[in-house]
Structure 1
Amino acid sequence: MSQNIASHQWENRILLILTDNSDTTTFQNQLKEFQTHENGLTDRKLIVYQIKEYIYTKGLKEGEWQHSSKLYKTYKSVNTSFEVILIGLDGGIKIRQSELLTCEKLFETIDVMPMRKAELKNKKN
């Protein structure tokens, strides 16, 4: 499943939402935050993965869960029950935090990246 993430390199930015329990307020609030700003996520080429210990799904809606623990084992920090990770177009981790990630902070972080600036410049032309 880590291959799935690697297949997005240079095409999409990735948001990983990792949780031990998808019923927690933090996890639910994170989904709502991203759902409220779906156009901004799409504009910035973001793909979201919801990841639990043994299953994951792609997207913000309740989707079809796939069985795998590779993403969780690869990206989850040991000392947190919730985590959000932004992976850039180059495959590098740009944000890793264990509290709610606002779209304001997310978009500010992405919008100053050289590749994002190039995307915006190309859109104008």
Structure 2
Amino acid sequence: MAEPLQDYRWKSRLLVVFAPTVVDDNYEQQMQQLLRNSVAVSDRDLLPVEVIGVEPVRVDALSEPAIDPVALRERFDVPQDGFKAVLLGKDGAAKLTSDSPIPAQKLFDTIDAMPMRQREMDD
């Protein structure tokens, strides 16, 4: 099976946020963390990937066709009614996983410690 997020490898870091619905408390908290810190999110090439129920997933305007949510849920072992946040590095590997919202500072500290991010900050 092809990797559903391969188009973003080496271009962007991804925060894959799984939730049963958009009114899930954990989902709302995680998305608010990103919204409140949008400049820092953008600076780190971090894109949110929202996997809500079984709705087709769009990462950004470029993700055509939409990504199959079932494939993402299978890859990260997340049930349809569960919440999970997974930070993926530009290499596509999971760097941080949580069953509750990840605080923005923890995301940024994790990203800033990555060798590729260290090189980006030096440039």
TM-score normalised to the size of structure 1? 0.82
Note the 1:46-85 alignment, pairs <5 A.
46-55=46-55, 56-58=57-59, 66=66, 68=68, 69-78=70-79, 81-85=82-86
What is the deviation of 1:57?
A: 3.2
Q: How many residues are paired up?
A: 116
1:105–1:89 distance in 2 versus 1, CA, 3 Å: same
Aligned mates of 1:21, 1:97 — CA distance in 2: 18
What is the deviation of 1:3?
A: 4.4
RMSD: 2.2
Match of 2:20 in 1: 20
As a proportion of its length, which structure holds more strand? Answer: 1
Aligned mates of 1:80, 1:91 — CA distance in 2: 24
Aligned mates of 1:30, 1:76 — CA distance in 2: 19
Unaligned stretches of 5+ residues in structure 1: 60-65
Taking every aligned residue pair, what percent have the same amino acid on both sides? 22
What is the deviation of 1:99?
A: 0.7
Contact 1:80 1:98 in 2 (8 A): no
SS in 2 for 1:57: coil
Unaligned stretches of 5+ residues in structure 2: 61-65
What is the deviation of 1:102?
A: 0.8
